[in-house]
Every structure is written in structure tokens, then in C-alpha cells.
Amino acid sequence: MIKNALQIENCIGFLLRISLALAFMVICNIAFAQVEESNVATEKRPNIVFILADDHRWDYLSSMGHPFIETPNIDRIAEEGVLFENAFVTSSLCSPSRASFLTGQYPRHHGVKNNFTPWNNRNVTYIEYLKQAGYQTAFIGKWHMPGGIPKLRGVDTFVTFDYLGGQGAYFDTPYIINGTKLQVGETPIPGADVIGYITDDLTNFAVSYIEENKDKPFALYLSHKAVHLAMQPDAEVAGRYDNKKVVLPKEADSWLAFSDGNFKHFLWSSLEEKVKDYAETAVAMDQQIGRVLDKLDELGLAENTLLVYAADNGYLWGEHRLIDKRWAYEESIRVPFVVRYPKALKQPGRRSQEMVINIDLAPTILQVAGIDIPGHMQGKSLLPIMKDEREELRSAWVYKYSEDFPYPVPAQTALRTKRYKLIDYERGKDDELFDLQVDPKEQNNLINDSSMAVVYERMQKQLKQMEEVISQPLPASTLIMKE
């Protein structure tokens, strides 16, 4: 009897000890979870700054070896980040390219196929996802998409303009701030003086916004008019390159803008003089980009800020006897694309040869912000490349230009691989095939070269297959915020 009582007592004691141990473990786990949750809560999300230029081609940077242009601030982003030397746009035209940056989609899906097809405000932008995740958000600068200026969902501060059909002017553009149109020189934003030169004004708005939101995670989309036609630098920079020699492509001449299908792009000066204006306008913009970098440094925000500089398309300066963009040639479709994110970057100053396209911006921003990339975005995140993980982004991609009358450029679709490019024109011009490895300036069309028959056939087949893939219906976004 006593033995049984002792056994029962021992059993009860054992159970009590187990219960106490389990209770202790639960308390510890709760405590650890609270500490971990507290760490997550106190770890500030990275800030996002995207700076977009207009018509800035990839090789008009001093870091790309241009013979005289000086862009020390964009070069600094490259030195402290990653310079993607093979960056492109899926359509070399302002409106479709800008919509692709915002949505992460090819034009056939977001619907802005040229400069005359309107933006559908049911499109979901990366800004909306950031807003839902708790970011303060701003769009400052050139909107330039058909359909009027929308009530862009997820944007707290919207500074833009509709002057001159949305192009704006380099001097004395009246701005629209959160739907209110201002008089020239007027601004209700403290600390953001309007001096009249558009690049400086937009930077003033941006720097003021960063200052105001320095204690919160913020996302800034800064969209410049520069370096679009009419390419006017400010007074400080104007004339800087007057004495520089401009070497035109061998097929170009000084008065090319008045000939050979360049209708709508009369420059009213020699090609050499306009190239100098273009370079000076880029320098004026670079100086203002330096102010954004300085403000981030001053506020101690640079380390935790993803900064991206890119352009909506390139520009032809006489190559193929052409002015402007639209065409699938390298000078038109290649853009500068520079990324800095010190917090995650490995080996700053690297130059990546991976092929980046504009639809990669939105997925990159979302992944850096810790947001799942939605299925309706067609681009790829660049974060693995920034971390120096050896990952190939893509071996080929598809370019498409949809004709926008009255510009006399035929609709065209192109397949660009690491070595070859096939351009399929809908009218008025024979198709073209180039071996970019031996012919980077695309001077020798191999379309009728019998030795290239196998390559041509393979490229045709690949283009058709990729067209079908990227044209497939996409999952609908579940994120539609109130306008």
C-alpha cells in the first residue's frame, strides 16, 4: 500500500516537473518571439528613390567613356552600386516605356502601346504595393501618358504638369500639385522654390519631400523632362561644350535632321550643335541628381535607400541616318540603368553584362521592400545580381514598337539575344538580322546571307514563341485601392 502511494507521489512529481518545464519553454518562446517581432518592427524598411530621365541614351555618360560629357553624380551611383551596361526598354517611346516601369508589364498588357494610346487607371503600379505596405509615396515630374493626368492610386504627393501636351517646357512650366494647377512660379510646398528651370524645380520638390519624410519609409518617383527635345541647359551649363568637337556617325551629316524620314524632328541647327545642347542638358540634370545624393547623405539615409537611375529610351544621333528613337537599333533601345543599395550590395562598382529591361524595375523595388512580387508583373528582380549571386536574368527578350502616326516609322518587332538581333518590320523596309558580336553598330544586314540561314530560321521561331508566351493572359491583381 505504502509502495503504491510512493509510486503515485513520484508519478505526480514527475508530471509536475514536466509541466513546469513545458511552461518555461512556452514563456521563453513567447519572449523570444516578442524580441524578434520587436526587432522586425524597429528595422526600418528601405527607402526607394527612382530617378527617370527622358531620351538619355546609355553611352552619354562619362563612366561609359563619352569623349567630353561630364556626369560625376550618375557616375558616383555606379561607383557605389552596379552599372548595368546592357539595359534596354521593351518599347523605345516615352509613354509605353514609362507605363512599363510603373507596372512591370509589356505594353501589350498595360495597354499604353504608343504616345497616343491612353493609360488605363485600372493598371496597378508598384507604388500601390508600397503604399499598402506602409510607405509614404510621391510622384514628382513628367507623367506624359495619354488620357489626362489620373488620380494615381497609392500616391500621397503628386507633382506634375500637363503643359504643352504633357511635355512641359524647360522654362516656366506651370505645375499641378495634387490636382491643383498653379500659376507660373507659384508653389504651396515649403522649402521647394520654383525658379523656373524645370530640372531644378523638380529637384527642389524632391529634396523637400525627402526632408519632410526622413523619419518614415518613403518611395519617390522623380521623373525629369531632361534630356528631351528641345534640349535646353540652364544658364550655368549653357555653352560649356561650344568648343568641343562632335564626331558624327560615318553615315550622318550636319543637316541630317532635314532629310531621310526625320520628319517631326527638325532641329533648326546643325546636328553637331544639337548634340552639344543634349550633352549640356544632361550635365545640368546630373548636377541636380547630385543634390538628391547629397540630401540622402546629409540625413543619414543613403545606406538604407535603394536608388535607381534610368531613362525611358535612348536616342539616335545620326546612326542609320536617323534622328529620335522608336527604331529597334541599339542607340534607340539601350538606356543607362544604375542601381545603388549599400545595405545589400556586394562589391560596389561592378558592371553587369546581364540584359536588363525596364519591366524589371517594379519587381526589383518590391523585393527590396520585402513585398512578394505579384504574378501579373512580367519582369525579374535585380536583387540577386546586386548581391552578386551568379544568376542569369535572361538570354533573350522581345522589343515592339507600335506605329504612332504621323511619325513615319514602321511598326516593328525585334528579338534581341546576347549575340543576335532580328528586326521584323510590318511595312516599308526589309527585315534585318545583325550579329552584334562582330557588328555592334548594326551596319551589315545578314538577312540574305546564306551562311546565316540556320540562325535566321532559329531566330524567327524563337521570336514567335516568345511573342506567344508574353502575350498570354496574366493573373489579375487583387490590389485595387480606391482612387
- What does the pLDDT look like over 374-400, one tens digit per residue? 999 999 999 999 998 877 899 999 999
User: What's the whole-number mean pLDDT along residues 284-293?
Assistant: 98
C-alpha span between 100 and 87 (Å, rounded): 14
The CA-based dihedral angle spanning residues 438, 442, 444, 449, taken in that order and rounded to the nearest 10 degrees = 80
Sorted by where each starts, the structural domains of the chain and their CATH numbers stand as 45-395 (3.40.720.10)
Grid cell locating 54: 527622358
pLDDT at 268: 78
pLDDT digits (tens, 9 = 90+) for 101-145: 999 999 999 999 999 999 999 999 999 999 999 999 999 999 999
Contact 307, 319 (CB under 8 A): no
Predicted confidence band of residue 23 (pLDDT cuts 50, 70, 90): very low
pLDDT at 389: 80
Of 320-324, 409-413, 462-466, the one with minimum mean pLDDT is: 320-324
C-alpha span between 216 and 133 (Å, rounded): 12
Predicted confidence band of residue 407 (pLDDT cuts 50, 70, 90): confident
pLDDT at 41: 41
pLDDT at 477: 86
The span from the first CA to the last CA of the chain, in angstroms, equals 80
Minimal CA–CA distance to 472: which of 329, 396, 334, 376?
A: 376
Which sign does the torsion angle of CA 382, 145, 320, 408 carry? Answer: positive
Percent of the chain predicted with pLDDT > 90: 80
pLDDT at 479: 78
Of 26-40, 127-141, 350-364, the one with minimum mean pLDDT is: 26-40
Grid cell locating 460: 524567327
User: What's the whole-number mean pLDDT along residues 307-312?
Assistant: 98
Contact 210, 264 (CB under 8 A): no
pLDDT digits (tens, 9 = 90+) for 438-454: 999 999 999 999 999 99
Q: How crowded is residue 342: how many other Cβ atoms within 10 Å of its Cβ?
A: 15
Considering only CA atoms, give the Rg of the chain: 27
C-alpha span between 363 and 382 (Å, rounded): 8
Q: Which pTM value belongs to this model?
A: 0.90
- Location of C-alpha cell 504651396: 188
Q: Please, which residues have CB within 8 angstroms of residue 316's CB and are 6 or more apart in sequence?
A: 322, 323, 324, 325, 327, 329, 331, 332
Answer whether residue 48 shows pLDDT above 70: yes
Percent of the chain predicted with pLDDT > 70: 88
Answer whether residue 410 shows pLDDT above 60: yes
Answer whether residue 264 shows pLDDT above 80: no
Q: How crowded is residue 341: how many other Cβ atoms within 10 Å of its Cβ?
A: 25
HSE, CB side, 13 Å, CA atoms: give it for residue 151: 4
Answer whether residue 159 shows pLDDT above 50: yes
Of 15-24, 255-264, 312-321, 383-392, the one with minimum mean pLDDT is: 15-24
Of 282-286, 309-313, 476-480, the one with minimum mean pLDDT is: 476-480
The Cα diameter of the chain in Å comes to 117
